[in-house]
Structure 1
Amino acid sequence: MPLHPELDKKLNKIYEPKTTIDDVFKGYDITFTTNEHGEPVLLFFGKRRPDGLIAGERYTRTIKRQPGSLEVKSSHWDNQGKIRV
């Protein structure tokens, strides 16, 4: 199942490189980590537990670049399955 278009738009932005960001999207807790270029590459989506971790689903992003540059040619998010409490 693809990500919600508004969430996908949020995750296509550039953030601080190599960081973890906690946020909320439409009542769900999200946490994502960025790569060395500031692009989100790992997403946790669900409900935050008291210890700060998220019980829900984990997604990873595959990024393909233009040869010889950092320009993103294409990218997509893959659901890696449930995260259990």
Structure 2
Amino acid sequence: MPLHPELDKKLSKLYEPSARIDDVFKGYDITFLTNREGEPMTLFFGRRRPDGAISGERFTRTIKREPGSQEVRSSHWDNQGKIMNR
């Protein structure tokens, strides 16, 4: 299942490098982790618990770059399944 186009657009932006970003998207809680370049690489999507963890789904991003540069040729998000934190 692909990500919602608006969420994909939000995750295509650059953020603070090596950071954890907590946000809300269309009534759902999201947390994403960025790499050294500030690109979101791991996404947690669902409902935030009082301790800050999210119960829902986890997605990971694969990025393919142009040879010899940091320019992104393509990227896609893969659903890694349910996460149920207790």
Q: Normalising by the residue count of structure 1, what TM-score does the alignment of the two structures yield?
A: 0.99
Per the alignment, residue 61 of structure 1 pairs with 61
CA–CA distance in 1 between the matches of 2:17 and 2:84? 28
Identity %: 78
CA–CA distance in 2 between the matches of 1:33 and 1:13? 13
- CA RMSD between the two structures: 0.4
Gaps of 5+ in 2: none
Gaps of 5+ in 1: none
Report the CA distance between 1:16 and its aligned residue: 0.6
CA–CA distance in 2 between the matches of 1:62 and 1:78? 8
Note the alpha carbon deviations across 1:9-64, whole angstroms, 9 max, x for none: 00000001000000000000000000000000000000000110000000000000
Which contiguous aligned blocks of 4+ residues in structure 1 show a shift greater than 2 angstroms? none
Per the alignment, residue 40 of structure 1 pairs with 40
- Aligned positions, number: 85
